Structure 1
């Protein structure tokens, strides 16, 4: 069976081999079709991705050539393993395939979010961990992104971050603060302006009795926000800092930490 993956470098896995094309624009066409699997992608959308607002006169013929190259790759897969093809359907093309890793991520992430809302915290944490485990790096990592794929990537990356925040919140609810601290330190270094992650780090440090470190974490956030945006931390984070200063233990996690 063919598996098409976009949550990392583009992969077309069949029979244990990666058959992904190497030509940059052919890869872009496949990625856009995969991100819209089993739905029609119009030729105008593909033109916009490949050439922005300056398609050449030969755009239609060139696109047909790219699709032909992709069909040749899929046709090289034994019929019993294929279950994947590209069909012409007005006003463009459809990649008919099973679930891609992006679709699987969306499905499993939604399952995790539903479990969280239902109060099944441990199950939610595990399901969200499974969803996040589908990522092999940055989405579409080896593709030259045009405007359409840029939008898709931004959406996937934003959802990944939200699900990561929710998984961390679930782990915190389960009392796994000590294990979370190293991960959160790394995340706040990567997402310096994300107040939710900073707040969770402060809360986890407080939970394990590291008041001084929690206060330093707050001051680190305050410096970053002040220097880069000219802002103070959100009121919820300021209240969290006040709880730390006043020695409040086991206080409720602030509204800023709630997600899902």
Structure 2
């Protein structure tokens, strides 16, 4: 079974989709898919689907949804015998004491592959190989097909899962840009970072990277204007000033600090990680 959480929910068995169109059964499958090969308690499923006001017949209704999902699993399996599934669909969507478990049968999950590639990128950065890091981070980001669980009605646990995945995406995107800056790709990054600064107007890290890219592209005045815009937004929206790291970067820009032109210098690396 292959699971996709990095975009619309995707669950496939033998290459066939098993995601239902109905909202609540889809939420049940999404929560099971977000916890592959782990028991999900019945109480957790009920809270996720119905919140604090479940219907009186909630246990029966949940069982009905499980039967619907098993029907889709059976359709995906087809009529061919499967020796490794002695209970058929019940070997995939397993009933356990107190809950249910989605057995992926050794399949893949895009969120787990994202984590694996991200770790490879981090190791490459620590080893001083930004080219390999950039490649690994790009491969991780290419797994995304849109906002996490974009087509699922989310309760508290799936909402937290989607938020965590999105934070991980933004973090890896920032690390990929850091690697590309170390490789001297500042000219090609200016456009991307300008878009990110507009999309995330309170994200100091993207603004810091944009300022550095602009400086290295010979646009110091625009870099300083970027700082002033961020300062205004932070003060207006949150009543805050830019972080000490960002103020340090501004001072370095005003002084034309040559350390900003040396991607491998620890000082310039620390300036990049503001926010």
Normalising by the smaller structure, the TM-score range is: over 0.9
State yes or no: 1:42 paired with 2:32. Answer: no
Structure 2 runs not aligned, ≥5 long = 86-90, 261-266
The answer on whether the counterparts of 1:207 and 1:249 sit within 8 Å (CA) in structure 2 is no
- State the match for 2:220 in structure 1: 211
Bigger Rg over Cα? 2
The answer on whether the counterparts of 2:16 and 2:76 sit within 8 Å (CA) in structure 1 is no
Number of positions where the alignment pairs a residue of Structure 1 with one of Structure 2: 258
Note the aligned Cα RMSD (angstroms): 2.0
- The alignment's TM-score, normalised by the length of structure 2, stands at 0.87
For residues 131-210 of structure 1, the aligned pairs below 5 Å read 131-210=140-219
SS of the aligned residue for 2:258 comes to coil
1:63-94 deviation line (CA, Å, top 9, x unaligned): 11111111111111235899881101122111
The answer on whether the counterparts of 1:207 and 1:250 sit within 8 Å (CA) in structure 2 is no
- State the match for 1:253 in structure 2: 268
For residues 1-260 of structure 1, the aligned pairs below 5 Å read 2-13=1-12, 18-78=17-77, 85-97=92-104, 98-251=107-260, 252-253=267-268, 255=270, 257-258=272-273
Partners of 2:244 and 2:269 in 1: how far apart? Answer: 10
Cα 1:41–1:106 change in 2 (3 A) is: same
1:88-127 deviation line (CA, Å, top 9, x unaligned): 1122111111121122212222222222223222111111
Cα 1:119–1:202 change in 2 (3 A) is: same
The answer on whether the counterparts of 1:6 and 1:101 sit within 8 Å (CA) in structure 2 is yes
Structure 1 runs not aligned, ≥5 long = none
The worse-fitting range, judged by mean Cα deviation, of 36-45 and 245-254 is 245-254
Partners of 1:27 and 1:169 in 2: how far apart? Answer: 38
The answer on whether the counterparts of 2:3 and 2:33 sit within 8 Å (CA) in structure 1 is yes
- The alignment's TM-score, normalised by the length of structure 1, stands at 0.92
- State the match for 2:264 in structure 1: none
SS of the aligned residue for 1:93 comes to strand
Shift of 1:18: 3.9
Partners of 1:145 and 1:42 in 2: how far apart? Answer: 17
